[in-house]
Structure 1
Amino acid sequence: MAYETIIVEIEEGIATITLNRPAVLNALNDKVFNELGEAALSLGADNSVRVVIITGGDKVFAAGADISQMANSTAVDVATREKVSHRAFQLLENLPKPVIAAISGYALGGGCELTLVADVRIAADNAQFGLPEIKLGILPGAGGTQRLPRLIGTGRAKELIFSGDFIKADEALRVGLVNKVVSADQLAAETRKLAKRFASRGAVALRLAKASVNEGLRMDLEAGLEYEHKCFSLLFATEDQKEGMKAFLEKRPAQFQGK
């Protein structure tokens, strides 16, 4: 599929989605959301893809929603539009394979919310994060009030949401918003290094491990443990489980086939 606002590249089982609106700092609009959703569906169905990276490139991740599109919107307009962003973000969040966000420069508003749908976030040392919607008389509407507290805790999330202030990469690491901070010139290499590590694992186990975490967070502990048990048991019907354990006993690297 040809895209206008994003670039999708696949190499060695790793797909990279690059936001591609540099003239407006990768501002997110309906077109971007629709294309992100379509890319998520396509990559999710592509068995050759083991890991997905989302990035905005070297200079900026995404500076937020396209305010020019929103300024004169009615409540009905926004209610309809938010369904588009929610669909895209849920498709990315629930991709049956690991998703890594590689973040350089600003990740603000919807851009920050986009990073939250990733499983792992790696930030360049020049990255800045923020949810400045409160300064516009609105609130984060693409999952920020829900995903951020679950990631960094209620108190810290409320402080960021209520103030609209930005935080730098080192603070984002301290509060648990990102997993790792690297120099800007090493961001792509470090992200790809992690993606290759994930890609070397069994694809079926990765899919069920991700589902176990994501679904478990929506349940109480008892139900989550039961869901985990079912996922664990199912893996013993796979060829990858047999190969993984055989390789361990034979003291050699496993050769997983995703079956």
Structure 2
Amino acid sequence: MSFQYLNLDVSERVATVTINRPDKGNALAPDVLEEVTRMFNDLGARTDVHVIAFTGGERYFSAGFDLNEIRKLEKVSNEAYTALFHRAYRAVLFCEQPVICAVGGAAIAGGFDLTMMCDIRYASTRAKFGQREIVLSLTPIMDPLWRIIGMGRAKEVALTGRIYDAAEAERMGYVSAVFPEGELLTSVSKIARDMAQYDRACLAETKRLSNVVLNQDLDMSMRTQEWLFRSYIGSEENHQRIDALQAQLAAARKAKG
């Protein structure tokens, strides 16, 4: 597949997807959304990819909706454009592999929503976050936002339309860590490569599990986790990784003398 607005690099079982529309702050025009959908659907089927890193580079993530495109819409004919956004959101959210988001700059409105669809979020000190839909007389995406930061905080983010810096996003639990400007991609790439060494099926199942248990009562979630654990423990992959870990620990003890 050829992509005009997305760059793809696959190395060491990590696929790095970079939004590349810098002249527009990586704004989400219809063609960009179509490419996001195709890219993540394609990557989800690739067995050589264990983890996906999603970024806009060190300077941007995405400034959000392309306002010139939205301004052309009429209420009676907006269905196709709205569907574009939600296909892209779902392609990221339900992608087979874990998706790590690296936010190097502004992630606003639709750009913020895309970060919300990722499993883990990291930011640089120059990152900014804002769910600005309310400012444009649009309703926001509340789910999965409330699952990430809680309903009370999600309401604040949605109803105020406020812009948050990286430090505040980390304090509210929206991002897992903040890295110095210019060091984001290197840092996230290492995290992704380390994660990609793990069993692909186990990574995918753990991602699915995290979504499933949210909608179950405690008894059912415990039963689901027991069943899933039982399907992996004692497997050949499990035995091989135990042997490798024990050999590594033995070598470390020997080196210490």
Q: Could you say which residue in structure 2 is the equivalent of 1:182?
A: 179
**Which structure 2 residues correspond to residues 184-203 of structure 1 after superposition, within 5 A?**
184-203=181-200
Q: Percent identity?
A: 32
Q: Could you say which residue in structure 1 is the equivalent of 2:220?
A: 223
Per-residue deviation at 1:4? 1.1
Q: Tell me how far apart the structure 2 counterparts of residues 160 and 248 of structure 1 sit (CA, whole Å).
A: 43
Matched, 1:113 2:110: no
Q: Could you say which residue in structure 2 is the equivalent of 1:256?
A: none
The one-letter code sitting in structure 2 at the alignment partner of 1:93 is L
Report the TM-score when normalising by structure 2.
Answer: 0.91
Q: Tell me how far apart the structure 1 counterparts of residues 248 and 185 of structure 2 sit (CA, whole Å).
A: 32
Q: Could you say which residue in structure 2 is the equivalent of 1:257?
A: none
Matched, 1:84 2:84: yes
* Aligned-partner SS, 2:118: coil
Report the TM-score when normalising by structure 1.
Answer: 0.90
Deviation by residue 1:184-224 (Cα, 9 ceiling, x = unmatched)? 11101100110011011121211111111112223333332
Q: Could you say which residue in structure 2 is the equivalent of 1:166?
A: 163
Q: Could you say which residue in structure 1 is the equivalent of 2:16?
A: 16
Q: Could you say which residue in structure 2 is the equivalent of 1:93?
A: 93
Compared CA separation, residues 231 and 21, structure 1 to 2 (3 A): same
Per-residue deviation at 1:175? 0.3
Per-residue deviation at 1:171? 0.3
Q: What residue ranges of structure 1 are gaps of 5+ in the alignment?
A: 254-259
Per-residue deviation at 1:236? 3.6
Note if contact 1:209-1:231 (Cα within 8 Å) is conserved in structure 2. Answer: no
Note if contact 1:107-1:130 (Cα within 8 Å) is conserved in structure 2. Answer: yes
Structure label with greater radius of gyration: 2
Deviation by residue 1:42-73 (Cα, 9 ceiling, x = unmatched)? 11111111110100112110001111111232
Compared CA separation, residues 168 and 239, structure 1 to 2 (3 A): same
**Which structure 2 residues correspond to residues 1-259 of structure 1 after superposition, within 5 A?**
1-140=1-140, 144-236=141-233, 238-251=235-248
Q: Tell me how far apart the structure 1 counterparts of residues 108 and 231 of structure 2 sit (CA, whole Å).
A: 40
* Cα RMSD (Å): 1.7
Q: Tell me how far apart the structure 1 counterparts of residues 75 and 215 of structure 2 sit (CA, whole Å).
A: 29
Compared CA separation, residues 234 and 146, structure 1 to 2 (3 A): same
The one-letter code sitting in structure 2 at the alignment partner of 1:189 is T
Deviation by residue 1:131-158 (Cα, 9 ceiling, x = unmatched)? 1111111122xxx211211111111111
Q: Tell me how far apart the structure 2 counterparts of residues 223 and 68 of structure 1 sit (CA, whole Å).
A: 48
Note if contact 1:131-1:161 (Cα within 8 Å) is conserved in structure 2. Answer: yes
Compared CA separation, residues 225 and 48, structure 1 to 2 (3 A): same
Q: After superposing the two structures, state which structure 1 stretch, 68-77 or 128-137, moved more.
A: 68-77
Note if contact 1:204-1:235 (Cα within 8 Å) is conserved in structure 2. Answer: no
Per-residue deviation at 1:125? 0.3
Q: What residue ranges of structure 2 are gaps of 5+ in the alignment?
A: 251-257
Q: Tell me how far apart the structure 2 counterparts of residues 33 and 218 of structure 1 sit (CA, whole Å).
A: 29
Q: Tell me how far apart the structure 1 counterparts of residues 77 and 241 of structure 2 sit (CA, whole Å).
A: 51
The one-letter code sitting in structure 1 at the alignment partner of 2:35 is E
Per-residue deviation at 1:252? 5.7
Q: Tell me how far apart the structure 1 counterparts of residues 192 and 73 of structure 2 sit (CA, whole Å).
A: 39
Note if contact 2:50-2:203 (Cα within 8 Å) is conserved in structure 1. Answer: no
The one-letter code sitting in structure 1 at the alignment partner of 2:80 is T
